[in-house]
Amino acid sequence: AKELGKNNCQFYAHEMNATLEQKLALMDGLRRAVDDQQLRLVYQPKVDLQSGHVFGVEALVRWEHPERGQIRPDQFIPLAEESGSIVAIGEWVLREACRQARAWQDAGHAPLVVSVNVSPRQFDDRRLVARVADALRDARLDACWLELEVTESLIMRDVGQAVDKMRELEAMGIALSIDDFGTGYSSLAALKSFPISRLKIDKSFVRDLAHSADDQAIARAIISLSHQLQMRVIAEGVETEQQRDFLAQYGCDEMQGYLFSKPVPPGEIPTLLERAVAP
């Protein structure tokens, strides 16, 4: 038994080294990903539930790793956050999303609000507001076409600092929304001091919406809270007509999910704008 225990230990130590090595290799690769042009953005349409029209898109980053192929953000954003590469990656995402929004407008499409995810370390960057202003100016994009998505946990860490920064962004004309709402621990009292225009119902509450009375209650509560605080409310992860119908019936304003479209390369967005009657 002793022998086995020892072997097990070695086995685990070996496994841990492998993962740690992998992690360090990915972190190292991430440092070059921006310069080596290995990142790209896909865009997922956001649909207005009343009109059935696409009014915006969310930019979602993808990493084309030279050896490992496409890596999803859940696997590298946390590493980039840990190593600090997220600041450079986030800046690239912001600039690229603004450039693309401008390109769609220049091509004569109805203007879309482009949403960009902002991670905690990026939000804490002293130069965030200046970086956003630069990105808009360089893209010649009006601030009203940019939205930033932040999570509850991000803004609740230091409410005072987050409020100040968000007020600066709001003063520039940028919309702010709270992502994954309901999964963190926001103080509802604090929520009203933030200049937020939209709450996003997390997809974990949408998944079982057709069957789970609890999830139905949560979704309805978030919709009603949003409206009482004069915000709009969007549901993410909408995959079925049942989910959409439930959300529409209870007054949810907007939706995003595979039912309408997966995230797609920018070239496919114009076609989706045209088929956007009755979702």
* Residues binding ligand C2E (CB under 6 A): 44, 60-61, 72-74, 77, 90, 93, 117, 119, 179-180, 203, 236-239, 257-258, 263
Specify the residue, 178 or 269, whose C-beta has the smaller distance to Ca ion.
178
Size of the chain in residues: 279
149 near Ca ion, rule: CB under 5 A: yes
Taking the C-alpha atoms of residue 273 and residue 241, their distance in angstroms, rounded to an integer, is: 20
Task: Scan residues 179-208 and list those touching Ca ion (CB under 5 A).
Answer: 179-180
74 binds, among ligand C2E, Ca ion, none (CB under 5 to 8 A by kind): ligand C2E
**Closest separation in Å from C-beta 200 to Ca ion:** 6
Q: Does 147 bind Ca ion (CB under 5 A)?
A: no
Q: Are 57 and 116 in contact (CB under 8 A)?
A: no
Round to whole Å and give the CA distance between 279 and 264: 17
The residue (of 184 and 193) whose beta carbon lies closer to ligand C2E is: 184
Place of tokens 């409410």: 159
Q: Are 276 and 47 in contact (CB under 8 A)?
A: yes
Token output for 184: 């963190």
Q: What is the spatial distance between Cα 198 and Cα 175, in angstroms, rounded to a whole number? A: 8
Nearest-approach distance from CB 252 to Ca ion, in angstroms: 15
Residue whose entry in the numeric block shows the structure tokens 């482009």: 114
Dist CA 270 CA 263 (whole Å): 13
In whole angstroms, the minimum distance from the beta carbon of 119 to ligand C2E comes to 4
Give 95 or 102: the residue with its C-beta nearer to ligand C2E: 95
Q: Which is nearer to Ca ion, 91 or 180 (CB)?
A: 180
**Which residues within the stretch 217-276 sit at the binding site for Ca ion (CB under 5 A)?**
236
